[in-house]
Amino acid sequence: MYINVIGAGLAGCEAAFQIAERNIRVRLYEMKPKKMTPAHKSENFCELICSNSLKAVRIESAAGLLKEEMRRMGSLLMLCADNCAVPAGGALAVDRNKFSAMVTEKIRLHPMIEIIEAEVGEIPDDAVTVVATGPLTSDLLAEKIAGLCGGGLYFFDAAAPIVTAESIDMSYAFTASRYDKGEDDAYINCPMNKEEYEAFHSELVNAERAPRHDVDVQNPKVYEGCMPVEILAQRGIDTLRFGPMKPVGLRDPRTGHRPWAVLQLRTENCAKTLYNLVGFQTNLKFPEQKRVFGMIPALRNADFVRYGVMHRNTFLDSPRVLNRDYSLKINRNIFFAGQMTGVEGYMESASSGLIAGINAARRIKNEEALILPRETMTGSLAAYISDESVKDFQPMGANLGILPELAEHIRDKRLRAAAYADRALSYLSEIKI
């Protein structure tokens, strides 16, 4: 008795681990390192392509609540993330190399998991199968999935550049977290005055972008949270100042005042030798990235170890094809997990893998599927992607808005979020996972 899992990304590794922990053998298929996508660089599993941030830590937040639910359900990825954390203020960020290496080691050493390094071109019908190939599914398998599911949808995703710590000009930067929350050195802040910012904005909106033959460059279908910074800038001169470059909660020690605009850099690794340009996902040509981002005083001599890139991702019209347990409506022996299902975000993908893996194990044992209540963040995400009343389906990340309303109205925002979290964890505690 065994279950196939296709894809060793966040959802696939979580699914494989959950199945294996239930004493069922897993055949985990992964095409790396024999075949790599343009966005992948590492041979390890669970490679983080974009940011190294897993979003907010506070349980009284949607992202924090989701992660706490996963911890309580025995998530492998949360165990590894907590052990590979790097300073990030109020967020949980990880050393991406250590994180993927730790997940890879635990998956490879698990006695119930067999790794098969090969590209899969068909969905196996010899066993219960979890498809977790992610938004960068190979063309061959994507075609088969589209045929099985009546077509697929797509969006475009972008990654931010990474620079070396030693190349950041600290005479123009300072370390601090917003409102002094978190570690003092969690972020390096690169301030700009009004004149510097307006000159930067002018060059950014007019900079040359990398050509894309598979995307409408002027009107791409992109997750709002991953919108290229140059497209955001086109919405107005102050858009960035109220978005990724907002200066609120920060004070420049050189002037004693709040800057006009600030780019935050978040550490990429435990050694703090690499920093990510927070919110600066981009599709600019590489020389343009160096030129335009170099207009930010602290980055005038920055050494870019990775430039930002934009790539095509794929997701299903899940409300039409998936059940709430992540199984396929036309074949309940096939499960889907990860961003392909329309959950947006690293931990959202992992949570879908966790539930799909548990339900695949239950399916092969002829047990009742695990359907978490909508009062939990994990259950609410599963309900959203399988809600047939959703007509124009778009990917969704964890947010308090998808939870059922509280029995009583609480005006205070923080107290209301805490009440949502308390209710979710109370419901979860009553369920046998």
- Give a yes or no: residue 157 inside a domain: no
- Give a yes or no: residue 278 inside a domain: yes
Are residues 169 and 305 located together in one domain of the fold?
A: yes
Copy the structure tokens of residue 205. 């909106």
CATH number of the domain enclosing 297: 2.40.30
- Return the pLDDT at 356: 98
Q: What whole-number distance in Å separates Cα of residue 101 and Cα of residue 364?
A: 30
Residue 320 buriedness (CB in 10 A; 0-12 / 13-18 / 19+): middle
Are residues 25 and 100 located together in one domain of the fold?
A: yes
Q: Give every residue of the chain whose pLDDT is below 50, as ranges.
A: 213-220
Tokens 């107290």, located at residue = 415
- Return the pLDDT at 217: 42
Tokens 């609410």, located at residue = 380
**Spatial contact of 232 and 244, defined as CB atoms under 8 Å apart:** yes
Residue 28: strand, helix, or coil: strand
> Per this entry, what is the length of the chain?
433
- Return the pLDDT at 216: 41
Are residues 299 and 374 located together in one domain of the fold?
A: no
Task: Write out the DSSP string of 330-364.
Answer: TEEEEEE-SGGGTB-SHHHHHHHHHHHHHHHHHHH
Nearest by Cα to 381 from 353, 352, 340: 352
Residue 293: strand, helix, or coil: helix
Are residues 228 and 369 located together in one domain of the fold?
A: no
- Return the pLDDT at 222: 54
Q: What whole-number distance in Å separates Cα of residue 376 and Cα of residue 286?
A: 42
Distance (Å) of CA 12 to CA 124, 349, 360: 15, 9, 12
Give the helix/strand (H/E) hosting 188. strand 187-192
Are residues 192 and 228 located together in one domain of the fold?
A: yes
Helix axes 62-72 and 346-364, enclosed angle (nearest 10): 30
Are residues 366 and 378 located together in one domain of the fold?
A: yes
Are residues 198 and 323 located together in one domain of the fold?
A: no
Q: Which of 287, 312, 337 is the last residue of a domain?
A: 312
**Other beta carbons less than 10 A from residue 432's beta carbon:** 4
**Spatial contact of 161 and 280, defined as CB atoms under 8 Å apart:** yes
- Give a yes or no: residue 108 inside a domain: yes
Q: Which of 244, 279, 312 is the last residue of a domain?
A: 312
- Give a yes or no: residue 46 inside a domain: yes
Residue 10: strand, helix, or coil: helix
- Return the pLDDT at 220: 47
CA 257 to chain centre: 34
Contacts of 200 (CB under 8 A, 6+ apart): 192, 292, 295, 296
Residue 97: strand, helix, or coil: helix
**Spatial contact of 370 and 325, defined as CB atoms under 8 Å apart:** yes
Number of helices (H), then strands (E), belonging to the chain: the values are: 12, 17
Q: What whole-number distance in Å separates Cα of residue 55 and Cα of residue 88?
A: 9
Are residues 144 and 87 located together in one domain of the fold?
A: yes
Partner residues linked to 188 by β-bridges: 175, 265
Nearest by Cα to 93 from 264, 269, 225: 269
112 is in which domain, residue-wise?
2-152+316-429
**Other beta carbons less than 10 A from residue 269's beta carbon:** 19
Task: Write out the DSSP string of 162-221.
Answer: EEEGGGS-GGG-EE--GGG-S-TTSEEEEEE-HHHHHHHHHHHHHSPBPP-SSS-SSS--
Number of domains in the chain: 2
pLDDT one-digit tens code per residue, 42-72: 889 999 887 899 999 999 999 999 999 999 9
CATH number of the domain enclosing 102: 3.50.50.60
